[in-house]
A and B are shown apart, each in its own frame.
Chain A
């Protein structure tokens, strides 16, 4: 560690080093002359400024007195002023030292830039270089192409399936009301007295009631795209409360598997919204069938 008393030696050593780098014929002369100049100065900064100036002067003198005959003359023979060449030459510092100093200075600058927020300002300014320009150009309208001449929409006719079942005549055996046999059939109404003196029961068949889903909600998408239409007949067993007591079954196909599946899903979704079959006005559990028609508007 240098002390304050050692600091003046730095200027002295710099001058010795600068004189050592001078042309051989001038080494001793410049060394004594500069040291005499140094002795006439006081103050560390002043002496150091002189030493640095001598280092600078050495670089210029080396270029000025590069001609060989200078050595023969003892002082100088001719000269080649090169003041325009301003590059400093510091003989006291080797190239390696200068390289280390430069690398250290670069590191200090980078660290200072990051610690002072300079880098943040730079990064913040980067997005400003991004400009979004909305071109106010009208998109050309493409003419609508007419359909080909041989184009025909695919419409599958599934045919109408009308399952008409004769309404059954329910006869109640005397004294045994539990022997009633439920029959599948469309909504119907039985009236009048039975044969053989048996008393007839008035039955009103159930069917889709209030809040029943519509076919639009369960129209198969593929069938809608393909233009499929059809009517499927499903059989359901509905209890007295209008709910399904069993899964609906397909009584008659529409000719399309997709239409049939849609009809079954619709029939199952309507559970709770069926109108129950009534016997003499009393809701009862019964099984019946009804048709579901899928048509495109």
Chain B
């Protein structure tokens, strides 16, 4: 089982999500992209994203594209907050993996 890190339980799925975002902390990622990079299933990914967002690690917004233009629903984009970045870095420091560059 994962390790409790403050108010977020660090399961292996949570760590993989954080690892995906830490590859480029400034980048905004949609859920489908996180699934592909982190090799996660939707059944576990979306609850993790919502938990991290609720804990203040992430912020999310709708993409700016107009639905009528792209002919598809809008994607929800997630991004690490400064607080989330610091705490995610601490998570990997605790795990002895170091902070990704």
Contact = CB atoms under 8 A, between A and B. Distances in A.
Given A57-B42, A57-B44, A83-B11, A33 B76 contact: yes
Given A78-B54, A83-B11, A36 B47 contact: no
A30 B74 CA distance: 11
B34 to A, nearest CB: 10
B47 A60 contact: yes
B43 A36 contact: no
Decide if the interface of chain A is mainly helix, strand, loop or mixed.
helix
A37 B42 contact: yes
B32 A52 contact: no
B74 A32 contact: yes
A52 B43 contact: yes
B30 interface: yes
Interface string B1-15: 100000111010100
Interface string A28-41: 01101111110111
Nearest to A41: B32
Interface in B24-67: 30-32, 35, 41-47, 50-51, 53-55, 60, 62
A56 B40 CA distance: 13
Contacts of A60: 43-44, 47
Given A57-B46, A61-B46, A61-B47, A36 B53 contact: no
Contacts of B75: 33, 36-37
Interface in A6-55: 26, 29-30, 32-37, 39-41, 49-50, 52-55
A: contact size bracket = 20 to 34
Nearest to A23: B50
Contacts of A65: 50, 54
Contacts, number: 95
Interface in A61-82: 61, 64-65, 70, 73, 75-79, 81
B72 A75 contact: no
B42 A79 contact: no
Contacts of B74: 32, 36
B100 interface: no
A75 B43 contact: no
A32 B73 contact: yes
Nearest to A78: B54
B51 A81 contact: yes
B50 A53 contact: no
A50 B45 CA distance: 11
A233 to B, nearest CB: 113
Interface in A94-144: none
B51 A37 contact: no
Contact of B54 (A50, A54, A79, A84): A79
Contacts of A79: 7, 50-51, 54-55
